[in-house]
């Protein structure tokens, strides 16, 4: 049974049952696609597509560049579930709404979750179009609403250790896949902020100083929920705009989607490699 701290179990089961009826498989891998990454599904053998409107209790993907479809299919002859469209705190969703899909994936059998996002690069060695595998995050989203409503707190309170959020083996195999295929994949620290605005120059400077390599507006709530549910997590950040506070350039959502798309073939290679390794 899913922990009620994440979201009410009856909501989770109601949604999971609709997916099970449409696609009776037990996927071990789940993927969440970030802004501009929808074409990753081009390499997937699609068996069934479920628009989020057809999934009871599922939020709607409101941000541009997020299709809002749960894609059920095969990669490397293994069943996989792909969320083509994600939800953000800045769309007004509460944490229990942001994390319901994660609990649904868990209920359907998902043991490892690949969470992707588009982000701004803070590290001066990073370039647009490159990928960073997340080693750790800094959660500045908690400056927003409380992560769990008091009624959903477990009794006695349970704390989810955030120390080892990102699975070491998945991270190491991602770096090995990139090395072998000959593309750049950094490792580093993701800072999650609430958005929806891009940062001021002073904020970019601050975020770099406190230890960030990249900054984005998603990922952290999903990763914490997945860890709470004892899934293994791989976080992949597509570096879009480079945040150079002293050489400012305007960041737009169109540009972020365009640059995130550059990384699609390499993200697809990582997903294939990770799925193949986990089924070996
Ligand atoms: N900041 C926050 N989120 C982002 C950025 C950024 O510069 N680029 C893409 N997502």
Q: What is the phi-psi region of residue 195: left when phi exceeds 0, alpha when psi lies from -120 to 50, beta otherwise?
A: left
Cα–Cα distance measured from residue 91 to residue 99, given in angstroms and rounded to the nearest whole number: 14
Question: Which tokens is 233 given?
Answer: 């997590």
Q: What is the pLDDT of residue 228?
A: 85
Q: What is the pLDDT of residue 1?
A: 41
Question: Does residue 217 line the site of ligand 1, with CB under 6 A?
Answer: yes
Based on the structure, what is the number of domains in the chain?
1
Nearest-CA residue for atom 7 of ligand 1: 120
Decide if 1 is inside a domain. no
What is the sign of the dihedral through the CA atoms of 31, 32, 38 and 40?
negative
Question: Does residue 199 line the site of ligand 1, with CB under 6 A?
Answer: yes
Decide if 126 is inside a domain. yes
Question: Does residue 242 line the site of ligand 1, with CB under 6 A?
Answer: no
**pLDDT tens over the chain, length 280 residues:** 455 555 677 888 899 999 999 999 999 999 999 888 878 888 899 999 999 999 988 888 776 667 889 999 999 999 999 999 888 888 888 777 888 899 999 999 999 999 999 999 999 999 988 999 999 999 998 754 444 555 555 554 555 565 689 999 999 999 999 999 999 999 999 999 988 888 988 999 999 999 999 999 999 989 988 988 889 999 999 998 888 766 666 777 777 777 777 888 999 999 999 999 887 7
Decide if 49 is inside a domain. yes
Decide if 241 is inside a domain. yes
The residues carrying an active-site annotation are 35, 66, 88, 90-91, 118, 217-218, 241, 253
Mutate to test the pocket of ligand 1, among 116, 251, 254, 262 (most ligand atoms within 8 A of CB): 251
Decide if 4 is inside a domain. no
Q: What is the pLDDT of residue 57?
A: 81
Tokens 């999971």, residue? 16
Decide if 2 is inside a domain. no
Which residue segment(s) compose the domain that 211 sits in?
9-279
Mutate to test the pocket of ligand 1, among 88, 117, 240, 258 (most ligand atoms within 8 A of CB): 240
Please give the C-alpha separations between residue 186 and each of 97, 214, 261, in angstroms, as whole numbers: 31, 11, 17
CATH number, domain at 130? 3.40.50.1580
Question: Does residue 240 line the site of ligand 1, with CB under 6 A?
Answer: yes
Å from CA of 205 to ligand 1 middle: 14
> Are the CB atoms for 172 and 116 separated by under 8 Å?
no
CA-nearest of 269, 274, 206, 275 to 243 is 206
Mutate to test the pocket of ligand 1, among 121, 140, 208, 217 (most ligand atoms within 8 A of CB): 217
Decide if 71 is inside a domain. yes
Question: Does residue 131 line the site of ligand 1, with CB under 6 A?
Answer: no
Decide if 3 is inside a domain. no
Tokens 């709404």, residue? 97
For residues 238, 244, 245, 249, the Cα torsion angle rounded to the nearest 10 degrees is -90
Q: What is the pLDDT of residue 102?
A: 92
Question: Does residue 256 line the site of ligand 1, with CB under 6 A?
Answer: yes
């Amino acid at each position: 049974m899913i922990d009620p701290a994440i979201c009410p179990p009856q909501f989770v089961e109601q949604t999971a049952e609709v997916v099970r009826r449409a696609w009776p498989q037990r996927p071990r891998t789940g993927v969440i696609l970030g802004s501009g990454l929808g074409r990753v599904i081009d390499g997937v053998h699609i068996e069934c597509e479920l628009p989020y409107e057809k999934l009871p209790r599922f939020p709607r993907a409101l941000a541009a560049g997020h299709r809002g479809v749960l894609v059920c299919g095969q990669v490397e002859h293994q069943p996989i579930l792909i969320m083509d469209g994600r939800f953000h705190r800045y769309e007004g969703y509460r944490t229990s709404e942001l994390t319901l899909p994660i609990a649904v994936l868990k209920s359907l059998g998902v043991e490892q979750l690949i969470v992707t996002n588009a982000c701004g690069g803070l590290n001066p060695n990073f370039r647009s179009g490159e990928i960073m595998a997340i080693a750790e995050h800094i959660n500045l989203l908690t400056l927003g609403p409380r992560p769990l409503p008091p009624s959903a707190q477990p009794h006695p309170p349970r704390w989810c250790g955030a120390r080892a959020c990102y699975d070491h083996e998945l991270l190491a195999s991602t770096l090995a896949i990139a090395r072998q295929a000959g593309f750049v994949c950094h490792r580093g620290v993701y800072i999650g902020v609430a958005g929806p605005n891009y940062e001021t120059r002073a904020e970019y400077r601050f975020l770099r100083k406190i230890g960030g390599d990249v900054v984005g507006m998603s990922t952290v709530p999903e990763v914490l929920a997945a860890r709470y549910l004892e899934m293994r997590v791989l976080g992949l950040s597509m570096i879009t705009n480079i945040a150079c506070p002293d050489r400012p350039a305007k960041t737009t959502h169109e540009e972020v989607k365009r640059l995130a798309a550059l990384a699609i073939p390499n993200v697809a290679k990582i997903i294939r490699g990770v799925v193949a390794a986990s089924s070996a």
